[in-house]
């Protein structure tokens, strides 16, 4: 069964700062200062964020309330935004989780919008800090000095329970795992953000992906182990009961190609849910490395070769074109529909076009939609102007600051303004996305509840909002659950939320209309049924377990 492929990003940002004396400020202090100003960042839009009390306790205090996590834990200070995003601190980094979006362009708007808010909060924090204090945020996900230090900007895609268990637990269909791992192995460098890699021998190398050197496994549970991350990750954090959320940790935050990457992965995973298992690489991890690290810096040609399972050696552009073409055929034949992956034909067509440019060495054309290409040209020009090499500190600084959230520092923003980069949305779309969550997503309803009933809300989670039915301290609670990622989409809840005078009028939103249909499998279900229903239990428990 193919489920709609909602896309989300955990945008973990490079977080640093310096005081008036130029001394570095601890990342934790920078993160706290920035997160404290997220509310101020939304003020120009006339909306407010919702957050639990900063001491970790909700109303009622330590002896009568709800504990929501220490302000000193690794993941804390959650701020739920009116547009469906969530801001928090994760391992001392500012992090934004975007609202789930089905449209790749809406996803791109969410990601870029998240950076706009983060930058506005950073500016507010800097203005309120001691004179001379500088805070810095960047969408770069690798340390500019130590390549062992990296942090995630994970891509999340909704998948069926069956596919998630197949890929991450049971491996019933290893060929499907092979296809998905192979497609990710190609997408990681193709949609990479670029990174100057310093192997430690005095040389410098340009890597298409800033994470490739950390990817050394096909599948891992751990996410933070240096040089030990997987193409696929088994972290299970669904944001709704009806589907799983595949956590893909190998991707960079590639602002120029968020829409293309999102669409590509929607289609790959939809194809996998249909049982597609073509184009399997012999060694997907090695392919990620070969394709990331082998670019001819005279011609711009991507020279790296990887081995397919049938023995053929193939370049990254050729591989991407084959997969994208196969996916287009699935769109044309109706296997992949707009309801699952909207705009797929257009996005896949653009990817095929980019593979042609890559084979021609037309890197400037690639740079319109691929961040690594735009950054490479930017750094090469800087090298030429300064007579420098990639190892020069000024070039490495330019590498790190390329995706700085500040429009005056991040070259990405200037190249976008000049038309050299085209993320397939305009800046106004990203700004507009800050007013409401994507209409096709539960984030829309959650955001509207926060906007209208923020004072009555006692807790917010990805799959529920809890409100007091009155303003009294011990008023009964109303829990609005969101079992599906579209439970509170605009068409379902706009009229109800708009017409509600108070939280009590939201009762009808608690009705769970999410009955799930499940196909019976007369072969595969037998073991499960035997395990779930011991003999006699179905007859009232005569032979039930004690």
Partner 1 sequence: MSVEKKLVRRGTKEEAPVGSPAEQAGPNALLEQARQFAAVAAEAHRECEEIENAEQELQRRRNTSGE
| Interacting positions 158-217 with partner 1 (CB under 8 A) | 203-206
Please report whether residue 396 would count as binding partner 1 according to CB under 8 A: yes
Q: Whats the size of the chain, residue-wise?
A: 546
* Interactions with partner 1, residue window 264-293 (CB under 8 A): 282, 286, 290, 293
Tokens of 83: 């547009």
* Interactions with partner 1, residue window 81-110 (CB under 8 A): 90-93
| The only residue of 104, 304, 317, 423 in contact with partner 1, by rule CB under 8 A | 304
How many CB atoms lie under 10 A from the CB of residue 47?
18
Q: Please report how close the Cβ of residue 377 comes to partner 1 at its closest, in angstroms.
A: 4
Please report whether residue 223 would count as binding partner 1 according to CB under 8 A: yes
**470-479: long-range contacts (C-beta < 8 A, 24 or more apart)?**
470/502, 470/503, 470/504, 473/59, 473/60, 478/503, 478/504, 478/506, 478/507, 478/510, 479/510
Please report whether residue 237 would count as binding partner 1 according to CB under 8 A: no
Contact window for partner 1 (CB under 8 A) among 257-265, 386-394, 500-508, 513-521: 386-394
| The only residue of 384, 501, 523, 542 in contact with partner 1, by rule CB under 8 A | 384
Please report whether residue 35 would count as binding partner 1 according to CB under 8 A: no
x/- mask, partner 1, residues 418-457, rule CB under 8 A, reads x-x-------------------------------------
Contact (CB, 8 A) for 82 and 49: yes
181 CB contacts (<8 Å, ≥6 apart)? 218, 219, 231, 232, 281, 284
- Compute the distance between CA of residue 202 and CA of residue 217 in angstroms, rounded to an integer: 27
Strands 229-233 and 215-220: parallel
How many CB atoms lie under 10 A from the CB of residue 529?
10
- Compute the distance between CA of residue 396 and CA of residue 390 in angstroms, rounded to an integer: 7
| The only residue of 78, 213, 321, 378 in contact with partner 1, by rule CB under 8 A | 378
Nearer to partner 1, 130 or 520 (CB): 130
Contact window for partner 1 (CB under 8 A) among 145-153, 156-164, 256-264, 511-519: 145-153
Please report whether residue 22 would count as binding partner 1 according to CB under 8 A: yes
Say which DSSP state 516 is in: P
Tokens of 162: 């069956």
Please report whether residue 218 would count as binding partner 1 according to CB under 8 A: no
Please report whether residue 147 would count as binding partner 1 according to CB under 8 A: no
Please report whether residue 29 would count as binding partner 1 according to CB under 8 A: no
Please report whether residue 318 would count as binding partner 1 according to CB under 8 A: no
Please report whether residue 333 would count as binding partner 1 according to CB under 8 A: no
Please report whether residue 407 would count as binding partner 1 according to CB under 8 A: no
| The only residue of 20, 169, 339, 391 in contact with partner 1, by rule CB under 8 A | 391
21 CB contacts (<8 Å, ≥6 apart)? 132
């Amino acid at each position: 069964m193919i489920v709609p492929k909602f896309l989300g990003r955990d945008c973990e940002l490079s977080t640093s700062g310096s005081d008036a004396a130029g001394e570095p400020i601890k990342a934790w202090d920078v993160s706290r200062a920035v997160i404290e100003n997220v509310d101020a960042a939304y003020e120009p839009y006339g909306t407010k964020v919702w957050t639990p009390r900063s001491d970790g306790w909700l109303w009622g205090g330590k002896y009568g309330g709800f504990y929501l996590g220490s302000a000193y834990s690794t993941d804390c200070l959650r701020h739920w935004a009116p547009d469906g995003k969530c801001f928090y601190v994760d391992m001392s980094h500012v992090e934004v989780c975007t609202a789930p979006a089905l449209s790749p362009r809406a996803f791109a708007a969410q990601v870029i919008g998240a950076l706009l808010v983060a930058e506005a909060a950073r500016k507010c924090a800097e203005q309120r800090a001691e004179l001379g204090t500088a805070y810095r945020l960047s969408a770069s996900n690798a340390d500019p000095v130590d390549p062992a230090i990296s942090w995630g900007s994970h891509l999340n895609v909704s998948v069926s329970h069956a596919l998630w268990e197949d890929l991450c637990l049971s491996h019933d269909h290893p060929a499907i795992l092979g296809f998905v791992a192979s497609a990710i192995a190609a997408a990681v460098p193709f949609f990479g953000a670029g990174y100057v890699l310093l192997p430690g021998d005095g040389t410098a190398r340009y890597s298409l992906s800033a994470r490739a050197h950390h990817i050394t496994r096909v599948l891992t549970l751990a996410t933070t182990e240096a040089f030990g991350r997987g193409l696929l990750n088994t972290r299970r954090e669904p944001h709704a009961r009806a589907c799983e959320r595949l956590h893909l940790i190998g991707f960079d935050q590639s602002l120029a190609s968020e829409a293309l990457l999102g669409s590509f992965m929607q289609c790959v995973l939809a194809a996998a849910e249909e049982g597609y298992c073509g184009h399997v690489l012999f060694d997907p991890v090695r392919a990620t490395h070969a394709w990331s690290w082998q670019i001819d810096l005279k011609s711009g040609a991507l020279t790296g070769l990887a081995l397919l399972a049938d023995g053929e050696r193939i370049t990254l552009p050729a591989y991407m074109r084959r997969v994208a073409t196969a996916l287009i055929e699935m769109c044309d034949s109706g296997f992949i529909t707009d309801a699952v992956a909207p705009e797929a034909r257009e996005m896949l067509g653009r990817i095929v076009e980019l593979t042609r440019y890559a084979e021609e060495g037309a890197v400037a054309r690639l740079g319109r939609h691929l961040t690594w290409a735009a950054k490479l040209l930017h750094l090469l020009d800087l090298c030429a102007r300064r007579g420098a090499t990639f190892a020069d500190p000024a070039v490495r600084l330019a590498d790190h600051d390329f995706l700085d959230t500040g429009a005056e520092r991040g070259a990405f923003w200037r190249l976008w303004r000049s038309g050299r980069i085209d993320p397939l949305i305009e800046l106004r779309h990203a700004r507009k996305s800050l007013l409401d969550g994507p209409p096709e997503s539960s984030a829309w309803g959650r955001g509207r509840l926060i906007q209208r009933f923020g004072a009555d809300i006692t807790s917010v989670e990805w799959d529920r909002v809890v409100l007091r039915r009155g303003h009294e301290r011990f008023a009964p609670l109303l829990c609005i659950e969101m079992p599906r990622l579209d439970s509170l989409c605009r068409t379902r809840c706009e009229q109800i939320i708009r017409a509600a005078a108070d939280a009590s009028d939201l009762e009808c939103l608690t009705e769970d209309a999410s009955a799930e249909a499940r196909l019976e499998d007369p072969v595969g279900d037998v073991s499960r049924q035997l395990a779930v229903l011991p003999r006699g239990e179905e007859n009232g428990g005569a032979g039930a377990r004690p």
